[in-house]
Structure 1
């Protein structure tokens, strides 16, 4: 059985973006083939193995597609992909698109329980996984999992290393005859990829995207950051298997004919080496990654080749990081506000340092060729007037089809006419600039008073002794929750909790919002998707009760009804 993936947007609206040229109306593999034919020897991928041109990549894609078809993979089948950032992940992406199958990528390092949840709910018929990567043995783990999942018929094991008995060896599939392959040519408005987002749900959310939504909507986002139309050379610090990383194969290669520069694992030293060696036009990462790189550059004073843009998304960007990054990289810093659920807005190339307001870096001008944005009443979904704060909702060419096997999420996060509810609060100013001011749910409730961790993080990031910071709520028997600051100090400088609280007072943040615990760490733990791992920090704080407590900041604020 194939999972049902329906489109929650009106069909006539979806087709209107094809008619006006906003979306290309071609499947991802056909777009890629057009790029390959136009420039046979353009470099498609730069990874640890070196260069791979479009023609060589296409041959490998066809080999894999023939091999997968021989395993019984058919149009509409969901196939999981758990591979590191290298050429094999790109080959798998394109081969599945050429078969008309639906790719379900998730990053290496995610455990077998999450993999089971994803594959079972999406009715995955196969999964392509690494034999070994950084002490993980995903292929063997997934093979064991498949024995309790009748729908999961095949595990394709990708070396290096011997394929476990019972799996299909990638190396054998790649020996297939590429001449025998005839592409499926799926409907461009049909599902091509499922994006995974942890969000605030108990289980990861899965969101289905069509070929047009990826290459058209998301493709228009990257197009706005390519001033002269030259094919981009994009260094992806985030996993291609993440939502942010979905701008890799489908957008950078298939839509724009560019080059992917890939690291199989992020470290600040490897990322800086890639910038030096490959001179990317675009560097894409989360702010925490960039802060790690900036710390290395602070120590060496090195000047890097100047990219066209440094694009930061996946987490809020603070003013201090934006200014330091613009100075160090010498290019515009682009603040990307977006999510797997279907929202995108960014600050563009007009400013070297993105504009700010009283709450931090703004989100930028919405682009209707990517996603139109409105501000709505959270309860009625009715549009609010300009300047009013409400829930940010989004609809446009990049809008996904639906949530996968989750009608409850469709009902909760999509309006009857297809708008995506982000759960974020914001407003549009008189110039049409989007300002994000907080989350409907992402709050710490201390004694009945709501505290926004993002608000406190923005203010703490400007402290001279703070390199990076994440704030989380920790359980408390008296107040319900208390706020904790997890701080990476600058070299040789470790602030005390009292110093941080004094800084917040100077910045005008009321005392009841100050952190009451401090955890100092050498580096923030990252999730497999490259974002700060708040759950790991919360777990450490919960276990580490002696972590520095503050004097009680006073009684809880009265909560308005």
Structure 2
């Protein structure tokens, strides 16, 4: 069991009142299952049906269970216990899904980390989560992840074990293949124990949001399964004849829920793409007969550009869920032509709530381009809070607030942040702004949060500013978004140089990459030098003016 003291008093009873919990269970929003029980169902009834492929490995449901349960048993031998946090930093490989299901079987809490995260971000996650083990790989895209974790062990006393996939482990480390591979007996409940409690922490997803340090979003099996099951049935209308295509990182909220849980819900296959390259993506869609997908909007734009010169048959794709930016009418029409009548549908959500709003198959076509949808799933209530604290009327802008069975219990070991985000009505405040029409369809209009959304991924401006301010050539700095056709937004650093200094973009990004060791995706892609920052009368930087400056530079 995970004690309230360890989890920061994050329990179902501290998050929801008794009536809400009763209602969630009565209406079937929470079903008290587990990821392992779902895997067992499909492995027992359809053991030879494909589940996960990645261009290298092809695993059936039976294969996946065998490997996951062997890995789970090995982790127990290493001393991992129910409630322990285990970091998983892996690409879109079958090993990620095997790791997730292994941890879900033994009741350990998976902490997925994006592959682009480097020492600074990973060290914070390790310290905040007190992870006892990490499952990772060696060199991927010219960066040695195993070496990074080895270097961080000295500053992370709880991190006792490293499990290495698709690379050679060092002495004292564990080989993923040997731990999960064929040859050993498949352990049963006598070794693995009972299924874990579905109301205890199951996954902690770290997200930057507005603050300079990432916060851990604590999901139980019930909160996560609610979104995965609801998206599978209510949005994708998915069956076991579908094949999910997942180019979004499965260590990210979208990839985890849509790429892993949605197919698992209906016993369908999922195909993972580890490195985004649009022409290769189209080849994979043809090769594996993919029918559904989800990604940030820029992925769709690049896929459509590649389709003009590609000979791949992509007519199997019927449905692509699109997040992170509005869908222009022309983009939806172009998608339908390229994918032989396939539908491009909008989704709005975040790591804290997963699925907030979405359009559905029965919605009028014009809603797909004029809104980000209505509440995505039955049981979800979306309200907009105006500046006066009251609910905003239709057409008026307000902060988007979520109430429903899919919200996190809170932030791991962050009671102040949890209290600041969840109000007295039990609503989760997203920090995003929107307007709702008379039919309840919401259009996201902006955000209260100071972030840049690059290709659907949030970048905390405050975090990057904090790192840049440590550079000797920087006297003042602000990081803002500027529009980009492909990525939606990119980051621009607006810098007041120190006396006598003339910093360059290459100098600053090199400092961030090698000295501060932050994720490459957070590096500013434009630099503007100014004599002084535009300020309000109360001394706040006028970032709207800086965004205008960055857009025109």
TM-score when normalising by structure 1: 0.78
The offset of 1:231, in angstroms, is 5.1
Quote the Cα distance in structure 1 between the aligned partners of 2:351 and 2:547. 35
Gaps of 5+ in 1: 446-452, 462-466, 479-531, 546-553
For the pair 1:409 / 2:417, whether they are aligned, the reply is: yes
**Partner residue in 1 for 2:172:** 166
1:51 match: 58
Equivalent residues in 2 for 1:345-360, closer than 5 Å? 345-350=357-362, 355=367
> For residues 350-429 of structure 1, what are the structure 2 equivalents within 5 Å?
350=362, 355=367, 361-369=370-378, 371-378=380-387, 380=389, 382-429=390-437
Q: Is the 8 A contact 1:140 1:164 kept in 2?
A: no
Q: Paired residue for 2:45?
A: 38
> Given that residues 201 and 219 in structure 2 are in contact (C-alpha distance below 8 angstroms), is that contact kept between their aligned partners in structure 1?
yes
| Match of residue 522 from structure 1 | none
| Alpha-carbon distance change, 253 to 100 in structure 1, aligned in 2, over 3 angstroms | farther
2:433·2:444 contact (CA, 8 Å) conserved in 1?
yes
Residue in 2 aligned with 1:198? 208
Whether the 8 Å contact between 1:248 and 1:260 is mirrored in structure 2 is no
Confirm or deny that 1:95 pairs with 2:102.
yes
Match of residue 132, structure 2, among 122, 125, 128: 125
Q: CA RMSD in A?
A: 3.3
Determine the C-alpha separation between the residues in 2 that align with 1:477 and 1:132: 37
Report the counterpart of residue 489 of structure 2 in structure 1: 470
Query: Could you tell me how far apart the structure 1 residues matched to 2:521 and 2:250 are?
Result: 21
Report the CA distance shift for 1:472/1:168 in structure 2 as closer, same or farther (over 3 A): closer
Aligned with residue 16 of structure 2, among 9, 14, 24:
9
Whether the 8 Å contact between 1:28 and 1:250 is mirrored in structure 2 is no
In the aligned structure 2, how far is the partner of 1:354 from the partner of 1:556? 30
Q: Given that residues 492 and 528 in structure 2 are in contact (C-alpha distance below 8 angstroms), is that contact kept between their aligned partners in structure 1?
A: no
* Alignment CA distance shift 1:254-1:297 (3 Å): closer
Q: What secondary structure does 1:147 align onto?
A: helix
Return the offset for 1:70. 0.4
Change in 2 beyond 3 A, CA 1:164/1:11 = farther
> 1:518 — aligned with what?
none
Cα 1:125–1:544 change in 2 (3 A) is: farther
Question: Which residue in 1 is equivalent to 2:314?
Answer: 304
Distance 1:349 1:183, change over 3 A: farther
Partner residue in 2 for 1:334: 345
Aligned to 1:344: 356
Aligned position for 2:294: 284
Q: Say whether residues 1:540 and 2:526 are aligned partners.
A: yes
Cα deviation for residue 97 of structure 1 reads 0.3
CA distance in 1, matches of 2:82, 2:451: 42
Gaps of 5+ in 2: 453-460, 462-479, 498-518, 532-544, 549-553
- From 322, 327, 335, the counterpart of 1:325: 335
Question: Paired residues, what number?
Answer: 479
**Contact (CA 8 Å) 2:87, 2:112: kept in 1 or not?**
yes
Q: Are 1:264 and 2:251 an aligned pair?
A: no
| In structure 1, distance between residues paired with 2:104 and 2:366 | 36
Mapped contact 1:333–1:349 kept (Cα < 8 A)? no
Kept after mapping to 2: 8 A contact 1:40/1:55? yes
C-alpha displacement of 1:365: 1.6
Question: What is the DSSP-based 3-state SS (H/G/I as helix, E as strand, rest coil) of the residue aligned with 2:62?
Answer: helix
Shift of residue 26, structure 1, vs aligned partner? 0.5
Q: Secondary structure at the match of 1:261?
A: strand
426 and 36 in structure 1: CA distance in 2 versus 1, 3 angstrom threshold = same
1:349 counterpart SS class: coil
CA deviation after TM superposition for structure 1 residue 383, in Å: 2.5
**Match of residue 519 from structure 1:** none
Q: TM-score, normalization: structure 2?
A: 0.79
Distance 2:252 2:437 in 1: 31
| Offset at residue 289 of structure 1 (A) | 1.4
Tell me what 1:509 maps to. none
Partner of 1:255: 265
TM-superposed deviation, 1:471: 5.7
Q: Deviations over 1:216-267 (max 9, x none)?
A: 2332023113437445311011011001112146522432211110112111
Change (3 A) 1:87 1:352: farther
Partners of 1:533 and 1:169 lie apart in 2 by 28
Evaluate the alpha carbon distance shift between residue 270 and residue 354 of structure 1 in structure 2; reply closer, same or farther with a 3 A threshold: farther
